[in-house]
Structure 1
Amino acid sequence: MTIEGILLTALMFMLIVGIHEWGHYYFAKRAGILVREFAIGFGPKIFSYKKDETRFTFRLFPIGGYVRMAGEDPELLSVEKGQTVGLMLKDEKVTRIFADEFEHRTDCLVGTITNVDLEDSLQIQLDLDGELHTYDVHPQAMIMSKKTETQIAPRDRQFGSKSVGKRAMTIFAGPMMNFILAFALLLVFTFMVGVPTGEKTLLINDITADSAADEAGLQKNDVISSVNGEQFNTENEVTLREMIIASPEQEMEWVVIRNEQAITLTVTPKDVDGNGLVGITMGQPMKTPDIISGVQQSAITMGNMFKFSLEQVRELITFNVKLDELGGPVRITEETGKIYETYGLDRYIMFAAFFSLWLGVLNLVPFPVLDGSRLLFLGIEAVRRKPIDPSKENLVHLIGFAMLMVLMIVVTYNDLFRLFKG
């Protein structure tokens, strides 16, 4: 694992997770929901800053992110009847409610709460030396305690107060932005590598360093003419792949065209778990695309990636995958560095596109704590015309989150064990 791989993975992670959470954030704000926090990562804060009503934070563990909306979880600070507080007023409305450290403030009214409603009527009543006084509360008033502040959330600013349609759009926006990002990255990739010319010529697009192909003298852009006397082009490329896999440690005679000259080389596929591997990627001649052909090719590539992502997710949720085949942040970092070092920037962009698409598909799975689960609960609410008990829904998501954390610990352990084992 290299520093370059770590930095490239961090960049990819911040882009993919950031755009996902921005989708939730943007549509929540558009629906009028108070967004308390926009977080990348989980765990202790590394860095944070506040803009308008939202605190943007970067947290220690890079395993996801979240947008915390008012009404979705218990508030950190609150005031209750019978509590002594200090009120700061501006234009005859309460803008600050001090739960402590108000004794020596000269800009506060100090009294005991006899009635308070910070969700509907937005009023607070205080007993000031035996006299009752009622004050209107500003809809963006802050509750202050131990130098921590929490903005109040009137009912119409809470997630649960919005229509099922607006809440569903807010949740779906995360995966949707991952799909949009994937397509945008594939457009960049397509314009970097080009689109097929339509010729059937089979080219060597990339060669892995120190591979059998590299050692035999094959080069990028060589045209594969024949292998072991059999002619090959893009129509029977699969047959060539099968031939290579079936020939570990067996010499193969390759004829390639380089600078219009036929060159014969002996290639011996390396034995990798019983399969032959030469270390090349193959394809057909490419040309610089126009806008229409670039969009079309990107759409085709994304469609193929989408099918592959669905198959991978299906195997994951049906437990048709071995635990040691799963990878966490460590393995992703390792593979990202290898892709960039071996194949270059274009393949790194393509990998980022696939990862964004895969994350979008995975998040739509109706597993507790994922967006798909929340959409399922909203669908049930729409059918039965009343919401599910929030405490029960939160319990389901909490269990799901705990399960994901256990899985993440296990795959990270496997990654580290594999890494140090060499």
Structure 2
Amino acid sequence: MAKLSNVKVNEFAVGMGPALFKIKRGETTYALRILPIGGYCAMEGEDEESSDERAFNKKPVWQKILVVVAGAFTNIVTGFILVVILTCISQAIATTTVAKFDSQATSNAPGGMQVGDQIYRINGARVHVSSDIMYDLVLDSDGVVDIQVIRDGKLVDLKNVQFPMMDDGNGGKVIRRDFWVVGQKKTFFNVLHESFFQTISMVRLVWVTFLQLFTGRFGLKDLAGPIGTTAAVGQAAAAGLPDLLYVAALIAVNLGVVNLFPLPALDGGRLFFLIIEGIRRKPINPKYEGYIHFAGFALLMALMVIVSFNDIMRLIKG
């Protein structure tokens, strides 16, 4: 988008930290950096005043906003494309209709779910595709869930549906889904429907998880850095192509959503300043904005050290 907007790009980097490889083509240096955590596009006039006519600071606010959000949007679109591929190679598409319960099910107790129920909401959240069921159950903490289903063509509210719990591997408990859903044959339209809403589910999961860092539901020990991400990708690759595609899609969507958080040094932080610029009709002093982004970058690097340490400890403990 920067190139399309005729903004001078000084460097385009994949990853962060020291450069492993650099090559210059025209006015732009292309770099591969050591930490596999996103990347950046360094534009002329982005953090300082520039007299260059093609500098970022010379562009109108609306154009700068498009440039800033383009990277995150591209990541999310990449995740969507990977989900489309994953859906296409699957044998069938899972619906939200209950097919059967396992032998130790508790959610089918009197007043609970029945075979043939189409799950419509879980704890107030709309369920569009089967992945919504998994995400919404994972976010529940006590195993007692309010579910709204479509039964015989009517909406039915099921209060306090009890699900079995299981160990999460980190000393806590998570819900175990005790039922299977009906599958359906793939068509062009239901593949697009499934892929779109599964991507939306990933976006919502990342956002809700981020918010729950502040409520205490999750802590820094639950975050994964580059080492943990690499390990997860390796495990997914060993499990097969579908798992690898799913993890790759989740990582792409995660990068896109996180990058839009209104935090210094992220594109969301720059977007926040651009919105202020649009309201004030004049930019924030680039020097002060640069200080804020630098401080944010330092905090992000400190966070990366912490989560990388947690990754290493998890690998050591197995």
1:179 aligned residue: 76
Determine helix, strand or coil for the equivalent of 2:263: coil
SS across alignment from 2:53 = helix
Q: 53, 59, 62: which is aligned to 1:156? A: 53
Corresponding residue number in structure 1 for 2:310: 414
Q: 2:63 aligns with which of 163, 166, 184?
A: 166
CA RMSD of aligned residues (A): 3.3
1:387 aligned to which of 271, 283, 293: 283
Say if 1:43 and 1:285 are closer, same or farther in 2 by CA, change over 3 A.
same
Q: SS state of the match for residue 295, structure 1?
A: helix
1:66 aligns with 2:43: no
Cα-to-partner distance string for 1:314-354 (whole Å, 9 max, x where unaligned): 12356653221121111112222233334x22122122222
CA contact (8 A) 1:41 1:65 kept: yes
Structure 2: gaps spanning 5 or more residues: 120-132, 138-142, 145-160
The residue aligned with 2:148 is: none
**Structure 1 residue 298, shift from structure 2 partner:** 1.4
Q: Deviations over 1:213-270 (max 9, x none)?
A: xxxxxxxxxxx56448979747499899965427x8xxxxxxxxxxxxxxxxxxxxx9
The one of 365, 375, 378 aligned to 2:261: 365
Give the counterpart of 2:193 among 296, 299, 323. Answer: 296
Q: Is the 8 A contact 2:262 2:268 kept in 1?
A: yes
The structural deviation recorded for 1:199 is: 6.3
1:201 aligns with 2:121: no
Report the alpha carbon displacement of residue 401 of structure 1 after superposing the two structures with TM.
0.2
What amino acid is the match of 2:306?
V
How far apart are residue 73 of structure 1 and its match?
4.5
**CA shift in 2, pair 1:335/1:234, >3 Å:** farther
1:282 Cα deviation (Å)? 6.1
Which residue identity lines up with residue 40 of structure 1 in the other structure? V
Question: Which whole-Å CA distance do the structure 1 matches of 2:295 and 2:274 have between them?
Answer: 19
What is the alpha-carbon distance in structure 1 between the residues aligned to residue 66 and residue 105 of structure 2?
57
Give the match for residue 321 of structure 1.
218
Residue of structure 1 equivalent to 2:243: 347
Q: CA deviation at 1:45?
A: 2.2
Distance 1:353 1:394 in 2: 32
Give the match's secondary structure for 1:334.
helix
> Which residue in the other structure is 1:10 paired with?
none
Aligned to 1:37: 11
SS in 2 for 1:61: strand
Paired positions, count: 274
SS at match of 2:247: helix
5+ residue gaps, structure 1, are: 1-26, 76-118, 120-153, 203-223, 249-269
Q: Distance in 2 between matches of 1:228 and 1:66?
A: 48
Q: Taking structure 1 as reference, are residues 51 and 286 closer, same or farther at Cα in structure 2, changes over 3 Å only?
A: farther
* Residues 41, 61 of structure 1: 8 Å contact kept: yes
Query: Structure 2 CA distance, aligned partners of 1:32 and 1:359?
Result: 25
Q: Conserved in 1, the CA contact under 8 Å of 2:213 and 2:219?
A: no
In structure 2, the CA distance between the partners of 1:399 and 1:317, relative to structure 1 (3 Å rule), is farther
- With 395-404 and 179-188 compared, the bigger mean Cα shift is at 179-188
Measured against aligned partners, the alpha-carbon deviations of 1:373-400 in whole angstroms (never above 9, x if no partner) come to 1011111111111111100000000000
Q: Distance in 2 between matches of 1:403 and 1:372?
A: 16
Asked whether the equivalents of residues 225 and 233 of structure 1 are also in contact (C-alpha less than 8 Å), the reply is no
The residue that corresponds to 1:189 in the other structure is 86
Q: Identical aligned pairs, as a percentage?
A: 32
Question: Which of 1 and 2 has greater Rg?
Answer: 1
- In 1, Cα distance between the equivalents of 2:268 and 2:174? 40
Distance change >3 Å, CA 318–CA 162, structure 1 → 2: farther
Paired with 2:8 and 2:259, the residues of 1 have a C-alpha distance of 23
Give the conservation status (yes or no) of the 8 Å contact 1:191–1:288: no
Q: Tell me which of 48, 57, 61 is aligned to 2:22.
A: 48
Contact 2:259 2:268 in 1 (8 A): yes
Instruction: Return the offset for 1:37.
Output: 0.8
Contact 1:363 1:371 in 2 (8 A): yes
Higher mean C-alpha deviation, range 42-51 or range 405-414: 42-51
What residue identity is the alignment partner of 2:39?
A: G
What residue number does 2:125 align with? none
Per chain length, whose mean CA-contact separation is higher, i.e. which structure has more relative contact order (CA < 8 Å, sep 6+)? 2
Code of the aligned partner of 2:16: F
Displacement of 1:50 after TM fit? Answer: 2.1
Task: Give yes or no for contact 1:196–1:287 (8 Å, CA) kept in 2.
Answer: yes
Residue equivalent to 2:235: 338
Q: 1:61 to 1:349 in 2, by over 3 A?
A: same
Sort the Cα spacing of 1:197 and 1:172 in 2 relative to 1 into closer, same or farther, 3 A: closer
**How much does 1:311 deviate?**
0.5
Post-superposition shift, 1:356?
A: 1.7
